[in-house]
Amino acid sequence: MGFFGNIAKKAANAVYNDSRKTYNNGKAYYNYKMQQAEAAQADRRKAEAAFKGYTHKGTFGTSAVEKMHLHGAEKQYRDNGYDVLKHIVTLSNGKTGIRLYVKKLTQRAHKKIATKAPARITGKGKAKKISKAKGKAFTKTMILSNKRYTLASNFHHYGDRARAYANSLKQQGFSARVKTANVNGITNYAVYTRNPTRSRKI
Q: Angle at the Cα of 160 (from 52 to 113), degrees rounded to 5?
A: 40
Q: Is residue 8 situated within a structural domain? A: no
- Nearest 10 degrees: CA dihedral of 96, 97, 98, 101? -130
Q: Are residues 129 and 188 in the same domain?
A: yes
Q: How far apart are CA 195 and CA 202, in angstroms?
A: 14
Q: How far apart are CA 33 and CA 11, in angstroms?
A: 33
Q: Is residue 70 situated within a structural domain? A: yes
pLDDT given at position 46? 66
Q: What are phi and psi of 10, to 5 degrees?
A: -65, -40
Q: Are residues 139 and 100 in the same domain?
A: no
Q: Is residue 99 situated within a structural domain? A: yes
Q: Is residue 141 situated within a structural domain? A: yes
Q: Is residue 37 situated within a structural domain? A: no
pLDDT in tens, the chain (202 residues): 565 567 777 777 777 778 888 888 888 888 888 888 777 777 666 665 656 678 888 888 888 888 888 888 899 988 888 998 888 888 777 788 888 888 888 765 555 555 455 555 444 444 444 444 444 678 888 888 888 898 888 887 788 888 888 888 888 888 889 988 887 778 888 889 987 655 444 3
Q: Are residues 137 and 164 in the same domain?
A: yes
Tens of pLDDT, residues 19-43? 888 888 888 888 888 888 777 777 6
Q: Is residue 27 situated within a structural domain? A: no
Q: Are residues 129 and 187 in the same domain?
A: yes
Q: How far apart are CA 38 and CA 42, in angstroms?
A: 6
Q: How far is CA 80 from CA 71, 84, 127, 201, in A?
A: 14, 11, 29, 49
Q: How far apart are CA 61 and CA 87, in angstroms?
A: 12
pLDDT given at position 47? 62
Q: Is residue 25 situated within a structural domain? A: no
pLDDT given at position 129? 44
Q: How far is CA 68 from CA 62, 104, 180, in A?
A: 10, 23, 18
Q: Are residues 103 and 129 in the same domain?
A: no
Q: Are residues 109 and 168 in the same domain?
A: no
Q: Is residue 29 situated within a structural domain? A: no
- Total domain count, the chain: 2
Q: Are residues 131 and 188 in the same domain?
A: yes
Q: How far is CA 182 from CA 135, 156, 157, 201, in A?
A: 12, 10, 10, 29
Q: Are residues 142 and 97 in the same domain?
A: no
**Which of 113, 145, 160 is where one domain is finished?**
113
Range of the domain at 107: 49-113
Q: Are residues 188 and 149 in the same domain?
A: yes
